[in-house]
Amino acid sequence: MPDTDVFYTALALLSFFFLIKVSTRLKLSRAKHPSVRGHSKWARRIAKWVPYFSYDEEAFFSSDEAPIAVVNQRKKGFKQLSESLACHSPKSTGFYASLEDSVSDVRFTNLYRVPYPYRNYLGEHIKPASIVTESSGVMLKDLDGRCGVDLSGSYGVNVFGYDFYKSCLKKGFENAQNLGPVLGPYHPIIKNNVEELKRISGLDEVSFHMSGTEAVMQAVRLARYHTGKRYLVRFCGAYHGWWDGVQPGIGNQRKTNDVYTLRDMSERTLSILRTRRDIACVLVNPLQGLHPNSDASSDAMLVNSEREAAFDKTAYSEWLQKLQQVCKERSIVLIFDEVFTGFRLSHKGAQGFFAVQADLVTYGKTVGGGLPVGVLCGRHHLMQRFKEDRPANVSFARGTFNSHPYVMTSMGAFLQAVQAEDIQRSYQVLEQVWNDRVQQMNQALNEAGVPVKLANLSSILTVLYTQPSRYNWMYQYYLRNEGILLSWIGTGRLIMSHNFTDEEFAEVIKRFVSAGVKMKKDGWWWQESALTNKWIKRRMLKDMVKSVSAKRLVKEAKR
C-alpha cells in the first residue's frame, strides 16, 4: 500500500510539472504572431518546400485570367516599356550585366526584384542597371549621363543629402591624411566623437565596429554575457542585419534555438517578458512602427495587394514605453537597433522621437559621415567585457578596423555638421513636413485614378496598392522609366533624404502619377469582381501544384 501511494504521488507530481510545461509553452506560442513570420522554424521548413516554377510568355501576361484584349494591351505596353528602358542607359545596362557572373550580389538582386514565377521572362526583356558615377542634390547620374531622382537613400546612409556627406568625407580625409590607415592607436578625434555619442544616446560608454550588423552582434553578446541568460526576444518582421542570431527565419542556417520571435504591440508579449526567467534581452527596430509584425516590404513578395502599413506615433510610443518598464522590472536588457533610424527621426534618433531610453543602442549607416561604421552605446555595467573577480571570463570583441582614422575623422565632421542651427531647426518640423508631402502625393494619385497610396514614418515611405492585382510589381519599372531610382526591393521602401525641397518633391509626385497613369493605360491594373486577393493567393498555389505535377509527369515519361 505505501508503494502504491508513492507511485500515485509521483505520477501526480509528474502530471503537474507536465501541465506546467505545456501551459508555459502554450503561453509562449500565443505571444507569437499567428503568421509564418512569427514561427521561425516553420518559416524555414516551408521555404524548403516551395518549388520553383516559371510562367511562359502567355502566362506572364495572363496569370490573372484577364481577357485577350487586356493581354494584348499589356504585351504592347511591355514592349514599349522595355524598349524605352533599354534606350535610356545602354552603357550602364551592359556594364551591370557584365558583373552578374562575378559579383554574387548582382545575381541575387536581379532574381529577387519580382515574384519568382515572373522573373525569367522579365529578365529576358528588362535588365535594370545600378551603375552611377556622380551625385548632386537629390539626383544620381549613370554611365550614360542620365540623371534620376534618388529614392534609394543608399540603404539609409543618405539622411541629409549626398553633398552633405561629400563635405564630411572631404573634411575627414583632410584631418586624417597625415596619419593614414594606422590601426590600433587612436586618432585624437575619437574623444570628441565619444562624448557627442554619449550625449546623443544618453548612455555611458561607446564601442566602434565595422557595420551595423556587427554592432548588433556585440550588443546581444554583451547582454547574454552580463545576464547569464540565453534567449533574445525580437519582434515579428523586424530586421537587424544579416547575422543568423537575429534572423531566425528564412535565410538562417543555424541549428541553435536561442531566439523568441514575438508579436509587436501585444499584451501577451509583455506577459511573457514578465514571467519567463530565460530572457537576456529584447531587441527593437523602431522602424517596425510603420508596419508592426510585417517584414520589410519587397516587390519580390508582392504577389497580391495585401501589403499593409500605417504609422500611429501615439500607440507605438506607448508600446515602447510599456516595454521599457517591463524590461526594467525584470532586469532584461533593452536594445534599440538605430542603425537605420538614428539621426533620421530626430537628432537623438528613435529614442528621442518616441521618448524612450534603452540600455544599449546601436548606430550605423549615416553616423560614419559616408563611410562604413557600426557604433554601440551602453550603460557602464553592460559595456564591460570582463568580470573583475573572474579574470579569464571575458566577452571578447575587437575587430581589426574598428576606429579606423578616416572613419573617425569623417564621423567627427558629421557629428559637428548635424549640430548646425538649420539642421536642428529642421528636426522640429520634420515629421509634419513629410506627413504633409505624403498626403499631397496620395491626393494626386487618387485624383489621377491610380490605385496606389503611400504610408510613411517621417521620410521613410512605402507604397501600398488599393485594389487586388498580380502585377503591382511592374510599377517599379514604370517609375524607373520616369527617372525614379529605387533600391532593388522596389516600391517596398522609399528612403528620402531630408534635403528634398518642396519643388523637388512636387516633381517626384508628378513622376509617380505619370508612371501610374501609363501602367494603368497598359492594362496591368485590369479589375473585375472575381479578382480578389484571396483568389490571387489560391491561383498562385494552384499554379505551383500544377507545375510540380507537370514536372513529375515529365520525369516519369523519361524513365
Same domain, 254 and 331: yes
* Percent of the chain scoring above 90 in pLDDT: 76
Q: Is residue 405 part of a domain?
A: no
Q: What residue ranges of the chain have pLDDT lower than 50?
A: none
> Quick one: cell of 248?
531566425
CA dist., res. 340 & res. 342, Å (int)? 6
φ, ψ (nearest 5 deg) of residue 173? -70, -35
- The angle at the Cα of 202, spanning 201 to 208, to the nearest 5 degrees, equals 45
Same domain, 141 and 233: no
Q: Is residue 402 part of a domain?
A: no
Which among 403, 439, 433 is positioned nearest to 499, based on CA atoms? 433
Burial 25-48 (b: 16+ CB within 10 A, else e): eeebeebbbeebbbbbeebbeeee
Burial class (CB in 10 A: 0-12, 13-18, 19+), 111: middle
Q: What is the pLDDT, as a whole number, of residue 51?
A: 86
Q: Is residue 331 part of a domain?
A: yes
Which residues span the domain enclosing 83? 63-159+429-521
User: In this structure, how many other beta carbons lie within 10 angstroms of the beta carbon of residue 147?
Assistant: 17
φ, ψ (nearest 5 deg) of residue 394? -120, 160
Domain CATH code at residue 214:
3.40.640.10
3-state secondary structure of 220: helix
Q: Is residue 327 part of a domain?
A: yes
Domain CATH code at residue 122:
3.90.1150.10
CB 337 within 8 A of CB 533: no
CB 65 within 8 A of CB 540: no
> Quick one: cell of 504?
523637388
φ, ψ (nearest 5 deg) of residue 396? -80, 130
Looking at the structure of the chain, the number of domains it has is: 2
- Running DSSP on this structure, what letter comes out for residue 31? H
CA dist., res. 268 & res. 198, Å (int)? 34
Same domain, 209 and 357: yes
Same domain, 221 and 367: yes
Same domain, 215 and 355: yes
CA dist., res. 479 & res. 515, Å (int)? 5
Same domain, 233 and 363: yes
Q: What is the pLDDT, as a whole number, of residue 27?
A: 72
Q: What is the pLDDT, as a whole number, of residue 8?
A: 58
Same domain, 338 and 236: yes
Q: What is the pLDDT, as a whole number, of residue 558?
A: 59
Same domain, 208 and 320: yes
Same domain, 248 and 142: no
Q: pTM of the entire structure?
A: 0.92
Q: Is residue 468 part of a domain?
A: yes
Strand duo 279-284 + 333-337: pairing = parallel
Same domain, 82 and 220: no
Same domain, 469 and 334: no
Q: Is residue 374 part of a domain?
A: yes
Q: Is residue 414 part of a domain?
A: no
Q: What is the pLDDT, as a whole number, of residue 386?
A: 86
Q: What is the pLDDT, as a whole number, of residue 86?
A: 92
Same domain, 153 and 276: no
Q: Is residue 174 part of a domain?
A: no
CB 194 within 8 A of CB 206: yes
